[in-house]
């Protein structure tokens, strides 16, 4: 089963081997509301941890999505260009934003696991 890790800025990375799928958490999607546009980078772009990986725009606001880990983008989720609303339906599943080849799996240790993230979000209410 894939390991999922979260940042305090509500990005996630779902790790499968040396590949990470980066997107926004369900909590972030709920805060944004209806997503109307997603701006994705080109494959081949190198990301350092903390770099802007994508932009998600909703009827409420535009939000930058920062890379929770570093790596090279191997694919952007092209399905979102024609259907950005997928982010509202399945933010932590089929609506991942970019797929990266991880540069340093050790960076995952600094991120929260699902239980820690759930407690973090609870504390925001």
Question: pLDDT tens digits for 37-65?
Answer: 999 999 999 999 999 999 999 999 999 99
Residue 125 resides in a domain: no
Domain carrying residue 76: 3-107
Domain harbouring 13, CATH code = 2.40.50.100
Residue 102 resides in a domain: yes
Residue 100 resides in a domain: yes
User: What's phi and psi for 21, nearest 5 deg?
Assistant: -100, 120
Structure confidence by residue, pLDDT tens digits, 60-104: 999 999 999 999 999 999 999 999 999 999 999 999 999 999 999
Q: How many domains does the chain have?
A: 1
């Amino acid at each position: 089963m894939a390991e999922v890790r979260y940042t305090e800025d509500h990005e996630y990375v779902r790790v499968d081997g040396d590949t990470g799928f980066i997107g926004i958490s369900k909590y972030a999607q709920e805060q944004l509301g209806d997503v109307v546009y997603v701006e994705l980078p080109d494959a081949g772009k190198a990301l350092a941890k903390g770099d802007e990986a994508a932009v998600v725009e909703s009827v409420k606001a535009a939000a930058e999505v920062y890379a929770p880990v570093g790596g090279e983008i191997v694919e952007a989720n092209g399905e979102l260009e024609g259907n950005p609303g997928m982010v509202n339906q399945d933010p932590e599943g089929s609506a991942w934003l970019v797929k990266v080849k991880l540069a340093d799996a050790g960076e995952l240790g600094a991120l929260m696991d699902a239980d820690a993230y759930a407690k973090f979000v609870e504390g925001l209410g």
